[in-house]
Chain A
């Protein structure tokens, strides 16, 4: 199970999605919003904010639509079938290698990197689930790697 590839999905980086993301986060850096400004920088054009990658492929085809509670997509699909009440995002570790630009097609390949039991100080027993996702662009360059820790209890 450990090391097993969980999924591989491809999604497009859209300029409008970058703009909406930056605005929703309250980040007005013109590098994400203004082509004329961005062209004069060393990037030569608009790039995506680093963590924009985390929004890609949230609802790949065939994944569950959100239910009445609003939970669906990758969140629901990745829930391990265990008698646990809550799935909590523990944290993430990102490494960035290349800028991400509008028009890029990013393929996300994920594998289960770690699965272990632990006991939280306040929360009691839980399962630590670490997923490692590699983000590769259409040119075959690895643009980022993310290790995503989930706590199931």
Chain B
């Protein structure tokens, strides 16, 4: 039983330009296989190194679901259980490989009460250990008011 403190992020504590926290993951080939399994994406390029190299890649590539979930987790960890994720959009720019150190983060770009809802918009991105942005996206969340 996890006694996780229910941290609450309030609308009033958010300002434009504020950075989001960082979420770091270092996936290995086992996680790549596991992500493929739960998303029922069995493409060999995600778990068979020989196949990936034959395809001209340096190593297997993580399924895009792994990257999009990093962004989703970044946001839901940040807003906590009292915040609501309304929109999440992302575009894939590059491949992630086992052994990479991936950092997901972002910044607040807008805060406004929209249709009566305290709404925050953020830009999001994931970069690898070389600083290359593999995924770029945005999120819209609704937060509680103190």
Contact = CB atoms under 8 A, between A and B. Distances in A.
B72 A49 contact: yes
A69 B44 contact: yes
Interface of A: 17, 20-21, 23-27, 29-31, 34, 36-37, 41-43, 49-51, 54-55, 58-59, 66, 69-73, 75, 88-96, 149
Contacts, number: 106
B38 A20 contact: yes
Contacts of B31: 24, 26
B64 A71 contact: no
Interface of B: 1-2, 4, 6, 25, 27, 31, 34-35, 37-46, 48, 51, 64-66, 68-69, 72-73, 76-77, 81-82, 84-92, 137
Nearest to A147: B89
A70 B86 contact: no
A93 B92 CA distance: 12
Given A25-B69, A27-B69, A55 B89 contact: no
